[in-house]
Amino acid sequence: MNKDKIEGTTREALGKLKEVTGKAFGDKKLTANGIAEKTAGKVQKAIGTIKDLPKR
């Protein structure tokens, strides 16, 4: 487990929280920001996975 995987997981969770909150309150901007942050978290987590590959 490296820093990118941990931060990516955190960003993904925060993004999901923002997305759900935005949908609950009908805030399209918050929903869009949540989706973007969730996607960025997935990308960052994937980068962390790639960085771990040579170590295996």
Inform me whether the pLDDT recorded for 54 exceeds 90. Answer: no
DSSP structure string for 1-56: --HHHHHHHHHHHHHHHHHHHHHHHT-HHHHHHHHHHHHHHHHHHHHHHHHHGGG-
Number of domains in the chain: 1
> Domain span at residue 25?
3-55
The pLDDT tens digits of the residues spanning 17-49 come to 999 999 999 999 999 999 999 999 999 999 999
- What mean pLDDT comes out for the span 1-9? 92
The answer to whether the pTM exceeds 0.75 is yes
Provide the pLDDT for residue 53.
85
Decide which of 55 and 17 is more confident: 17
Provide the pLDDT for residue 52.
86
